[in-house]
Amino acid sequence: MEKTTRICGATPDRIEVRGKDLVGELMGQLSFTEMFLLQLLGREASRLQMSIVDAVLVTIMEHGLVPSVLASRLTLLGAPESYQGAVAAGLLGVGDRFAGTASECAVLLDRIAGAPADQREALAVRIVEEHRREKRPLPGFGHPTHKGGDPRVEKLIAIAEAAGAPGDFIAALRLLEASMARVVGKVVPANVSSAIAAVLREAELPAEVMRGVVLVARCAGLVGHLHEETTRPIAGEMWKLVEREFPYEWT
Amino acid sequence: MEKTTRICGATPDRIEVRGKDLVGELMGQLSFTEMFLLQLLGREASRLQMSIVDAVLVTIMEHGLVPSVLASRLTLLGAPESYQGAVAAGLLGVGDRFAGTASECAVLLDRIAGAPADQREALAVRIVEEHRREKRPLPGFGHPTHKGGDPRVEKLIAIAEAAGAPGDFIAALRLLEASMARVVGKVVPANVSSAIAAVLREAELPAEVMRGVVLVARCAGLVGHLHEETTRPIAGEMWKLVEREFPYEWT
Amino acid sequence: MEKTTRICGATPDRIEVRGKDLVGELMGQLSFTEMFLLQLLGREASRLQMSIVDAVLVTIMEHGLVPSVLASRLTLLGAPESYQGAVAAGLLGVGDRFAGTASECAVLLDRIAGAPADQREALAVRIVEEHRREKRPLPGFGHPTHKGGDPRVEKLIAIAEAAGAPGDFIAALRLLEASMARVVGKVVPANVSSAIAAVLREAELPAEVMRGVVLVARCAGLVGHLHEETTRPIAGEMWKLVEREFPYEWT
Amino acid sequence: MEKTTRICGATPDRIEVRGKDLVGELMGQLSFTEMFLLQLLGREASRLQMSIVDAVLVTIMEHGLVPSVLASRLTLLGAPESYQGAVAAGLLGVGDRFAGTASECAVLLDRIAGAPADQREALAVRIVEEHRREKRPLPGFGHPTHKGGDPRVEKLIAIAEAAGAPGDFIAALRLLEASMARVVGKVVPANVSSAIAAVLREAELPAEVMRGVVLVARCAGLVGHLHEETTRPIAGEMWKLVEREFPYEWT
């Protein structure tokens, strides 16, 4: 059983994070994203990791008035004394339905990229067929709004490639996409979740930290919405609208 | 009553944030911190804002096994299926006691920096005296651990000055510090909360968004702790320790 | 510094709560409300306390599609894997704006009921005048919907009186109501929050536990809404409605 | 798509819950548990349901300084302004690990009780064998503390039987217990989770609402701990203890 932490220790004179002196080695020298990666992974981030993680965080910070944003703004309406409560309420909706697919897809990409090169294509087809047979959606494919292909997907991949990504996980994503087209008989485009999975794996982030990356980006997004809610409130009107449009009925 | 949001809108072809095309103008071009400031304030961040906000986020991301980290790790122990629940539990403890002083101090700095130059010193003394009279602590002064002065304070100020901060809020902080020494009769050093308040005001962030900045940094810190908890768990041992050391007693 | 808890201890053979054997003395013998009061106050509840607390819990369990219910249902939409996350998100909106007035009003009732009998009327007038002068609403008076008087108020008082409440706090509430009419010049009826404050004080529950009573009732209410959301979902439609009615606008 | 709620509607004159007038038919006439069941299930609770649900709520309200209680108390330490935040943080730890087994076990009990009477025994054995083969624990069996059998189990069953439970689900639990003994070769006693599952199924509560019942009981338990934390604080000492016993280590 562990009895220590390897992240941070503070004495009156020194705060040390992952072996570095916070004041002397980190403050003023690292960007937020570099510090986040150091804290998360326990080692200095590479240039490639930084570019990819920054691009991913920028990509998913905002998507408008999604359910988690509504929950956050409605919570502030009832509890204006607790900003952190409103942020927490918003993050609680960043769950499996919208935010879980990146890590699920990453597990599939790991299987493909981990196979011998000449077996990857067949494996991708097999994975797609399995999901079809068990009537499970392939995680990270299809989108209710962006039916013709999500514009963020190719952009993320281009950013990763320009930053020098080795390419095995992007190639695995392409194999899944091609297998989908072959098995299903029509193009079902990769969505932003699988693209995030592919580029974060290129950056050597394991599947199990992907939800954490999403939460950090969404936390920043929620803070912006709460600031708007404070200065141009809409939650009260939302409430009235919902009460009017979803009446009580008992028969 | 407002009936719109000015943050983000998505159509099948285009996601727009604060008037910018996410794919064409933001992804791959902005760092996390630039995107966060655009989303929060509705305009492009200046070089000065970026440097200061990055420094602040790096400064407060980690402080070891503080109560909010313990709450987060203990929550994951009971609900391993909900990563977002563990992050939310941790953020709920980022409340007035530890995270509220920055914005409270910012309000005082605003009063001083907003006064005519020749009246600021007298105003700072008056503020300190008021707090003494009403037996309220001056927000952002004194620290249980770093009694001789928190090493992060001067570093944050130096970073802000090197980045070209105009200096009015830093000067206001110095006036408060000098007034404390004069009124109390001994040095009570500014702590990291008042330094954060001063440098974020130099970056033109209003007092009411400071809690949000703290929450973003702490969210990233919690993600690191949850990753450690997943790979080197300690929450189970903490529980046993607390049960043993805080027994039930009824008489 | 305390180093013990006085609530509950468990050994392999015996679970003891507040000095009672859970299996032998509590299970099958206490109702939920009796157990809650034992756990909260550390002593057996009286008949009067039970009647009043049951009535209060019944009164505030449900109020339809209020903001905290919306937040809870929207959270389940995004995180169906975490029922507790959806409940927690709902409770986070049970804050000062809608749930804080009972304890604020209880503090005023305590002041009036604690004064010598012949000074209570004058004190009630003074309290109302103070609030008017400082332009603060008197906590527990007025209601946006039930303008002619909330039907729950008289019912709660009648239940408390029928159960044998001594009546000092109810009398204090009547004095505040009469003072409001006199000072403001028209009837501003007591709302359900001040009635809850009065009857819970009659039951000897201190002001600082009233929020807890509200949270327990609302927790039960949220569980009902989440069960409806699971079987007859509306959160997805709410989301679409809000997105349509609150469009993004940038100029 | 649903566009109504069937739980509660309020007009200025009347608040209606599940077809009943709150003021005229519910307040002062229903206990908390009756109201909770009406709100949850949409019909009046039977005497049997009331007895069983009260017994279950009493049983699981308290279990001492468990992780969710620690999280709740530590959260109040950092955010004393937000009582609801501390309750929410505590509930977030009421997750699959400790609170999920009741509903998982209920699904198994449903399968057994739903089979023709002469096939139930064989089915119970098959279920136990399946779990053994797949190396999954049988939900609701075994306990780290109460190794010789949890005293709450027989008590819950006795309460349900005394209240007139038909007995099919209790019988199914007995069959699982006997199958475990036969397959494993030693007695692995049913724990409180499976007993809760059995008696709540006797009360006709479906598996999917069991988590909700647990959350209501735990919410009440947390309120008691937060009241103790306010009056006899220990969270600060817990923090110091954990920091001392789990030091930072970097090598």
Confidence of residue D117 (pLDDT cuts 50, 70, 90): very high
Provide φ and ψ at D27, rounded to 5°: -60, 130
Record the tokens describing residue B154, joined without a space. 């001067």
Chain A contact set for C81 (CB, 8 A) = 95-96, 100
Chain B contact set for D83 (CB, 8 A) = none
Q: What is the pLDDT of residues C169-224, one digit of tens each?
A: 999 999 999 999 999 998 899 999 999 999 999 999 999 999 999 999 999 999 99
- How far CA B26 is from CA of A52, A61, B39, B174, D118, in Å, comes to 13, 11, 11, 38, 67
pLDDT, mean of residues C107-128: 97
pLDDT confidence of residue B144: 65
Q: What is the pLDDT of residues D155-175, one digit of tens each?
A: 999 999 999 999 999 999 999
CA distance C17 to chain D (A): 7
pLDDT, mean of residues B220-234: 98
Confidence of residue A235 (pLDDT cuts 50, 70, 90): very high
Q: How far apart are CA A145 and CA A234, in angstroms?
A: 24
Does pLDDT of B143 surpass 80? no
Q: How far apart are CA B219 and CA C219, in angstroms?
A: 26
pLDDT confidence of residue D170: 98
- Per the prediction, chain D carries an average pLDDT of 95
Which chain D residue lies closest to B89 (C-alpha atoms)?
Answer: D89
Confidence of residue A146 (pLDDT cuts 50, 70, 90): low
Asked if B25 and B33 count as a contact pair (C-beta separation under 8 A), the reply is no
pLDDT confidence of residue D149: 79
Lowest pLDDT segment from A81-85, C40-44, D26-30, D99-103: D99-103
Does pLDDT of B149 surpass 90? no
pLDDT confidence of residue B68: 98
pLDDT, mean of residues C223-243: 97
pLDDT confidence of residue D147: 65
Q: How far apart are CA D74 and CA D238, in angstroms?
A: 8
CA distance B75 to chain D (A): 4
Record the tokens describing residue C205, joined without a space. 């529950």
**3-class state of residue A203 by DSSP:** coil
pLDDT confidence of residue C150: 86
- Residue whose C-alpha is closest to residue A108's, from A129, A83, A153, A138: A138
Asked if D13 and C151 count as a contact pair (C-beta separation under 8 A), the reply is yes
CA distance B61 to chain C (A): 24
Does pLDDT of B63 surpass 80? yes
Q: How far apart are CA B212 and CA B219, in angstroms?
A: 10
In the block, residue with structure tokens 């927490």: A88
Does pLDDT of A232 surpass 90? yes
Q: What is the pLDDT of residues B104-142, one digit of tens each?
A: 999 999 999 999 999 999 999 999 999 999 999 999 998
Helix (H) or strand (E) holding C16: strand C15-17
Does pLDDT of D154 surpass 90? yes
pTM of the prediction?
0.96
Which chain D residue lies closest to B75 (C-alpha atoms)?
Answer: D93
Chain D contact set for A249 (CB, 8 A) = 4-6, 9
Tell me whether residues C92 and A94 touch, CB distance under 8 A: no
Tell me whether residues A55 and B2 touch, CB distance under 8 A: no
pLDDT, mean of residues A163-179: 98
Q: What is the pLDDT of residues A94-141, one digit of tens each?
A: 999 988 899 999 999 999 999 999 999 999 999 999 999 999 999 999
Amino acid symbol at A26: L
HEC string of D54-96 equals HHHHHHHCCCCCCHHHHHHHHHHHHCCCCHHHHHHHHHHCCCH
Tell me whether residues C81 and B79 touch, CB distance under 8 A: no
Confidence of residue C147 (pLDDT cuts 50, 70, 90): low
- Residue whose C-alpha is closest to residue A239's, from C242, C236, B8: C242
ipTM: 0.96
Contacts of D76 (CB under 8 A, 6+ apart): D83, D86, D226, D229, D230, D235
DSSP-derived letter for residue D164 is T
pLDDT confidence of residue D208: 93
Kindly list the residues of chain A whose beta carbon comes within 8 Å of any beta carbon in chain D: 3-9, 16, 18-19, 79, 81-82, 84-85, 88, 92, 245-250
Record the tokens describing residue B16, joined without a space. 């727009």
- Residue whose C-alpha is closest to residue A236's, from B126, C148, C70: C70
CA distance C41 to chain A (A): 26
Q: How far apart are CA B27 and CA B21, in angstroms?
A: 9
- Which chains have 3 or more CB–CB distances shorter than 8 Å to chain C? A, B, D
In the block, residue with structure tokens 């600082």: C208
pLDDT > 70: percent of chain B: 98
Q: How far apart are CA C177 and CA C154, in angstroms?
A: 13
In the block, residue with structure tokens 């999500």: A150
- CA C30, distance to chain mean position in Å, is 22
- How far CA B27 is from CA of A60, A125, A167, B17, B95, in Å, comes to 10, 31, 19, 11, 33
Q: What is the pLDDT of residues D223-235, one digit of tens each?
A: 999 999 999 999 9
Q: What is the pLDDT of residues D180-238, one digit of tens each?
A: 999 999 889 999 999 999 999 999 999 999 999 999 999 999 999 999 999 999 999 99
Tell me whether residues A1 and B236 touch, CB distance under 8 A: yes
Select from B215, B218, B240 the residue whose CB has the most chain A CBs within 10 Å, as the one to mutate to test that interface: B215
Does pLDDT of A26 surpass 80? yes
